[in-house]
Structure formats: structure tokens, C-alpha cells
């Protein structure tokens, strides 16, 4: 979330505080219901909030302070490092799916392929 959601009339201090904030999701299978259940949060509708077709738009919405997004670490690490986003809670949920990069063996000799992979 944006650092500004850690302050104000309903600061995010505990997962239960999410009941006062908008949940943001992208169309990819990041599951607020699973996260809320694993954090022991009740009384928060996991289907409420904003849904975007793109993870980029979902993250940018959170940067703008419009709510809290469940983000994949690799996609939000730069925003966390620069302070555009903060992790309000330590609780994390392991992804149920993975991303795989598939390429012909000789393609790794191309600098752009190696840079993308790394």
C-alpha cells in the first residue's frame, strides 16, 4: 500500500484494519480470500474492492493510495525499495502458481535474453 495508508483515521496496523480499506486485485489468481483466511481476518469481504486486468494498474492504484494490493514480490520489489509502496504486514502467502521462462538453449547467448532471465 501507499505509505499514507499507515496514517490517518484508519491506519493499517493489523490485518483486521483492512475492513476500513479498499482491496485491490488484478485479474491473475492472487486470492484475497486465501490471504485473509490465512491471516485469521474475519469480517472483510474478499470480493469487494477494485479489480484490474493488469498487475501494473493494480499496483499503480495502490501507489496512488486507492487501497491495498496483494502483489507478487518480484513485481513490487522496486516500488518497495523506493518507498512508493510499503508492506503493512509481515504476513505473506506463498503463490499457488509459478512463472516459467522457456527459450531455446542458444538464445541465452543473446545479452537481452540473459538480462531478462537474470
pLDDT on residue 30: 64
> How far is the C-alpha of 7 from the C-alpha of 115, rounded, in Å?
39
Indicate whether this model's pTM tops 0.85. no
Distance (Å) of CA 97 to CA 11, 28, 31, 72, 87? 31, 10, 12, 11, 22
Tell me the average pLDDT across 95-117.
86
Q: What is the pLDDT at residue 83?
A: 97
pLDDT of 28 strictly over 70? no
Cell numbers found for residue 44:
472483510
Helices (runs of H) and strands (runs of E) counted in the chain: 4, 3
pLDDT digits (tens, 9 = 90+) for 52-103: 999 999 999 999 999 999 988 888 999 999 999 999 999 988 777 777 889 9
Q: What are the chain's domains?
A: 3-117 (3.40.190.10)
- Mean of the per-residue pLDDT values for the chain? 91
Measuring CA to CA, which residue among 40, 32, 52 is closest to residue 15? 40
Element (DSSP H or E) covering residue 78: helix 73-82
Instruction: For CA atoms 93, 74, 54, 28, give the dihedral sign.
Output: negative
**Share of residues in the chain with pLDDT > 70 (%):** 97
Amino acid at each position: 500500500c501507499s505509505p499514507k495508508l499507515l496514517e490517518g483515521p484508519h491506519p493499517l496496523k493489523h490485518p483486521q484494519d483492512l475492513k476500513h480499506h479498499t482491496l485491490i486485485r488484478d485479474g491473475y489468481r492472487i486470492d484475497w480470500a486465501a490471504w485473509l483466511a490465512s491471516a485469521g481476518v474475519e469480517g472483510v469481504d474478499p470480493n469487494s474492492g477494485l479489480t484490474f486486468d493488469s498487475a501494473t494498474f493494480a499496483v499503480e492504484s495502490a501507489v496512488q493510495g486507492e487501497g491495498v494490493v496483494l502483489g507478487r514480490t518480484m513485481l513490487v520489489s522496486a516500488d518497495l525499495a523506493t518507498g512508493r509502496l510499503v508492506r503493512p504486514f509481515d504476513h505473506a502467502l506463498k503463490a499457488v502458481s509459478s512463472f516459467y521462462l522457456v527459450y531455446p538453449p542458444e538464445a541465452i547467448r543473446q545479452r537481452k535474453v540473459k538480462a531478462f532471465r537474470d
